[in-house]
Amino acid sequence: MKIIDGKETAKLIKEEIKAEVAGIIDRGDDPPHLAAVIVGDDPASHTYVNGKEKACKLVGFTSSIYRMPDETTEQELLDVVTYLNNDPEIDGFIVQLPLPKHIDENKVLETIDPKKDVDGFHPVNIGRMALNLPSYLPATPYGILQLIEHYKIETEGKNVVVLGRSHIVGSPISILLGRKNNPGNATVTMCHSKTKGLKSIAKKADILIVAMGQPHFVTEDMVKKDAVVIDVGIHRVPSDETKSGFKLIGDVDFDRVASRTSYITPVPGGVGPMTIVSLLKNTLKASKKEVYS
């Protein structure tokens, strides 16, 4: 069994990005510029956005954060999105989710210019991804692809089972691994809350990707011997093993499953650290006009 070390992989990729940014600056060009818009005071969202800002600083990107109060109207947010769409200084931007309930999330996401949509959430980018055209890939699935590449895990002809069909993880990773591509060319089965016989389907997986949002959902009886297990879940649960009284666990019961696997991602330190790296890579691509000219 080998641990897929997302923290270390993310660090290596950030070093590569940093070196490339140094080259851009040496040539006299502007470094990539990422903006983030955050509405309201959800503490988790502020933590994510602060993490993104820190990562930008580390690799030499310029970053701007637009912090807007909870009572921001939909129109005020749409105006900021339009402003950022038209600001030539900004290469790419994200609107941190979730948004307050009085704002229509889809309307906001569809207002973002697909060329600057470094989250890869705009229907145009999802559609281009499905058609295997150049696009910004959503951060978590892109992070999973980078781990698969980094660890040279073969996907061609493999049975991939994805547990979960969310718009930001389950659905896009299912599309990506089924594409005629490398990584890709897998036979993908996507399971969800209405799937019959989910356990026996999971057990046939050569590569099992778990994004159900349920702590310790996957137990050892659901995993084939020598499977690759990628755990996207992250849950904060009470624990008497830590000083804080809490610990982070995934959708996979790691302690019981790990010894059966060939590769497994831990939680924390697996997929999580790769998501910010994906956002940085998309922003770099935006600044180099690699996806759209």
**Chain residues that interact with ligand GUN, rule: CB under 6 A:** 94-97, 119, 139
**Smallest separation, CB 52 to ligand GUN (Å):** 9
Task: Based on the residue annotation, tell me whether 226 is a catalytic residue of this protein.
Answer: no
Cβ–Cβ under 8 Å, residues 284 and 291: no
Burial class (CB in 10 A: 0-12, 13-18, 19+), 135: buried
Task: Based on the residue annotation, tell me whether 79 is a catalytic residue of this protein.
Answer: no
**Smallest separation, CB 276 to ligand GUN (Å):** 9
Catalytic residue among 5, 91, 117, 119: 119
Task: Calculate the alpha carbon distances from 138 to 82, 156, 170, 239, 246 in Å.
Answer: 21, 22, 11, 32, 29
Angle, in degrees to the nearest 10, between helices 272-287 and 43-59: 60
- Quick one: 117 or 206, whose CB is closer to ligand GUN? 117
- Quick one: 34 or 139, whose CB is closer to ligand GUN? 139
**Smallest separation, CB 169 to ligand GUN (Å):** 10
Task: Based on the residue annotation, tell me whether 146 is a catalytic residue of this protein.
Answer: no
- Quick one: 94 or 218, whose CB is closer to ligand GUN? 94
Catalytic residue among 5, 14, 52, 231: 52
Task: Calculate the alpha carbon distances from 53 to 33, 206, 234 in Å.
Answer: 11, 37, 21
- Quick one: 261 or 275, whose CB is closer to ligand GUN? 275
- Which residues are part of the catalytic machinery? 52, 96, 119
